Amino acid sequence: MESTINTAKAVRWPTGAGAMVGIGLMAGVDEIVFHQILAWHHFYDGASETIGIMADGFLHAFELVLLVAGFFLLLDLRRRNMLLTKLAWAGTLVGAGGFQLFDGIVNHKLLRLHQVRYVDNVLPYDVAWNAVGLLLLGIGLIMYRRRVSNHD
């Protein structure tokens, strides 16, 4: 029983820490590229420019907390010789893809906080956005399954 618990922890911790990093990384890419460089949208576009920028700041803070916490967990796992790097990478891709899909489906379509880009036909942008998320998520899940089935 004890070895099963330890095996579950050995799988769960690097995957979870990687997922935190992946969510933070993808939120950072979204924030820097689409909110700041391209200026296609803010996290919340339903109010004034000031509120939109403030919402971007909250997203940025969330992203930084996840990145710092995720990297601290990964470093702690490494220090304790428990870091399974392939599982951490799988978690990173699952986190990044999961964030991308959540943003594309929940934030863009269900809550209507913002669109990828405000143009007449948003469909190509939505398809590309969600396809990238599905690709990252799929690769991460395949990596995870292979590592878990091979007992890393």
pLDDT, tens digit, 9 for 90 and up, residues 114-129: 999 999 999 999 999 9
CB-based contacts of 52, cutoff 8 Å, min separation 6: 42, 43, 44, 45
- pLDDT bin (cut points 50, 70, 90) of residue 6 is low
Once rounded to an integer, what is the mean pLDDT over residues 134-147?
Answer: 96
* CA 106/CA 121 separation, integer angstroms: 19
Q: What is the pLDDT of residue 152?
A: 46
Are the CB atoms for 141 and 89 separated by under 8 Å? no
pLDDT, tens digit, 9 for 90 and up, residues 67-113: 999 999 999 999 999 999 999 999 999 999 999 999 999 999 999 99
* CA 131/CA 127 separation, integer angstroms: 6
Is the pLDDT at 43 greater than 80? The verdict is yes
